[in-house]
Amino acid sequence: MPTALGLMLLGLVWVMTYYISSGAYPIPNVDAINIVVGFAFIMVGFIMMTRWK
């Protein structure tokens, strides 16, 4: 479970960093792909939560 929460938190921080920096971070010059990467981390975290026992 800590890994799932960590991934979801990482995704949230990734998207927040993208918006706060106006696209300069975390990966410059790829625009909306940063949002996709952030949400991918969040989705993997949710998938891991469904398999947690």
Per-residue pLDDT of the chain (53 residues; tens, 9 = 90+): 899 999 999 999 999 999 999 989 999 999 889 999 999 999 999 999 998 66
User: What is the pLDDT at residue 11?
Assistant: 98
Q: Which of 49, 37, 35 is nearest to 6 (CA)?
A: 49
Look up the pTM and report it: 0.88
User: What is the pLDDT at residue 43?
Assistant: 98
Domain count along the chain: 1
Euclidean distance between CA atoms 30 and 51, whole angstroms: 32
- Determine the structural domain holding residue 39 and report its residue range: 2-50
User: What is the pLDDT at residue 51?
Assistant: 83
User: What is the pLDDT at residue 1?
Assistant: 83
